Amino acid sequence: MKFTVGDFVTRKSYKHDVLFKINSITNDNAILHGVEMRLVADAPLEDLEKVEERDLKKKERLGKEREEFSYRLFRQDYQFMKDKRTLQSDAAYPSLPLFRLPIKVLHVDGDVTYLKKCIDLYKRIGIQAHGIHMNEKEMPVQIRSLIRKIQPEILVVTGHDSFSSKKGTKKDLGAYRNSSYFIETVREARREIPNVDQLIIFAGACQSHFESLIRAGANFASSPARINIHALDPVYIVAKIAYTPFMEKVNVWETLKNTFTGERGMGGIETRGVHRTGMPYFWDEA
Q: Closest by alpha carbon to 89, among 230, 245, 204, 272?
A: 245
Tens-place pLDDT, residues 252-284: 988 888 788 889 999 999 999 998 877 666 665
State the Cα–Cα distance between residues 235 and 220, nearest whole angstrom: 12
CB 265 within 8 A of CB 70: no
Tens-place pLDDT, residues 94-117: 666 777 788 999 999 999 989 999
The kind and range of the H/E element at 58 are helix 53-92
Q: Closest by alpha carbon to 40, among 62, 55, 57, 18?
A: 18
Most confident region among 45-49, 77-81, 221-225 by mean pLDDT: 221-225
Per domain, the residue ranges of the chain are 8-51, 70-278
Q: What is the mean pLDDT of the chain?
A: 88
Q: φ, ψ for residue 86 (rounded to 5)? A: -60, -45
Low-confidence winner among 26-40, 61-75, 203-217 (lowest mean pLDDT): 61-75
Separation of CA 1 from chain center: 35
Helix, strand, coil distribution of the chain in percent, nearest 5: 40, 25, 35
Tens-place pLDDT, residues 192-240: 999 999 999 999 999 999 999 999 999 999 999 999 998 889 998 999 9
CB 40 within 8 A of CB 162: yes
Q: φ, ψ for residue 40 (rounded to 5)? A: -120, 140
Q: Is the pLDDT of residue 82 over 60?
A: yes
State the Cα–Cα distance between residues 235 and 241, nearest whole angstrom: 10
Q: φ, ψ for residue 258 (rounded to 5)? A: -95, 0
> Which CATH entry fits the domain spanning 70-278: 3.40.50.10860, 1.10.540.10, 3.40.50.10090, 3.40.50.800?
3.40.50.10090
The reported pLDDT for the residue numbered 1 is: 77
The reported pLDDT for the residue numbered 231 is: 87
